[in-house]
Amino acid sequence: MIVKICGITNPEDAAAAVAAGASAIGFNFYRRSPRYIEPQRAAEIRTPVHVLRVGVFVNEPRSHVEAIVRTASLDIAQLHGDERAEEYPATAGVWKAVRVTPGFDFTPYETCPAEAILLDGPAAHLYGGAGIAFDWTVAASLRKRFVLAGGLDASNVGRAVELAHPWGVDACSKIESSPGIKDHQKMRAFLQAAAEALRV
């Protein structure tokens, strides 16, 4: 099971996330995001080998994604744009992010070659950390490994897991004191609640 903290911008938040039990941390390489981090800065944030390093990308050329994968030592490229399967990077695993809206059709994503689908809430022009949830019950029908994101924190992650049965969960904006800066108390509470819910 995956419990991910996304939007990491500094070593202190990364260390606190890992210490509290995060199995993955995310770096946002979308320049318009308030959580954007330079690839070299991400590279300087060290993590244990058992913690997945995930990069958020939006409509970046494959060659650029692969360059950042190398620079920042990423394990996973989380693709939030309109990337086709043939544009997926060859040097990292892929999580394909999709925004779940009313009437959303999961069918095309059940056969895509991504390792997992990341289900996020609707967020207009924002990518990674909008904090908007969706109807988790619709996710339970998805016949592919998926990570649940969008508006999760300690207060609702248990219910989200109960309804959707995800492979993993991902939190960002709801556990921050400001964009890109984590509230360590909220983060620890989320990680504890998520671990308890995913063990059931």
Domain assignments of the chain as residue spans, ordered by start? 2-199
- Predicted confidence (pLDDT) at residue 29 exceeds the cutoff of 90: yes
Q: Give me the mean pLDDT over the 88-113 stretch.
A: 92
- Predicted confidence (pLDDT) at residue 14 exceeds the cutoff of 90: yes
Rounded distance, CA 102 to CA 144, Å? 19
Rounded distance, CA 17 to CA 184, Å? 8
Type of residue found at 134: F
Percentages of the chain per state (helix, strand, coil), in multiples of 5: 30, 20, 45
pLDDT in tens, 166-185: 999 999 999 999 999 999 99
Contact 28, 7 (CB under 8 A): yes
The confidence score (pLDDT) of residue 101 equals 86
The residues that bridge with 2 in the sheet, in sequence order, are 168
The confidence score (pLDDT) of residue 116 equals 97
Active site residues: 6, 120
Q: Give me the mean pLDDT over the 143-150 stretch.
A: 95
Angstrom distances, CA of residue 154 to CA of 119, 121, 175: 18, 17, 9
CATH of domain 2-199: 3.20.20.70
Type of residue found at 178: S
Strands 168-171 and 2-5: parallel
H/E segment holding residue 12: helix 11-19
Q: Give me the mean pLDDT over the 74-83 stretch.
A: 96
Per-chain mean pLDDT for the chain: 93
- State what percent of residues in the chain have pLDDT above 90: 84
Lowest mean pLDDT among 75-89, 90-104, 119-133: 119-133
- Predicted confidence (pLDDT) at residue 126 exceeds the cutoff of 80: no
The confidence score (pLDDT) of residue 103 equals 86
Task: Count Cβ atoms within 10 A of the Cβ of residue 54 and give its class: 0-12 exposed, 13-18 middle, 19 or more buried.
Answer: buried
The confidence score (pLDDT) of residue 124 equals 46
- Predicted confidence (pLDDT) at residue 61 exceeds the cutoff of 90: yes
The confidence score (pLDDT) of residue 81 equals 92
Angstrom distances, CA of residue 83 to CA of 73, 93, 150: 21, 14, 21
Residue with tokens 């744009």: 81
Task: Count Cβ atoms within 10 A of the Cβ of residue 200 and give its class: 0-12 exposed, 13-18 middle, 19 or more buried.
Answer: exposed
DSSP string, 54-65: EEEESS--HHHH
Q: Give me the mean pLDDT over the 60-70 stretch.
A: 97
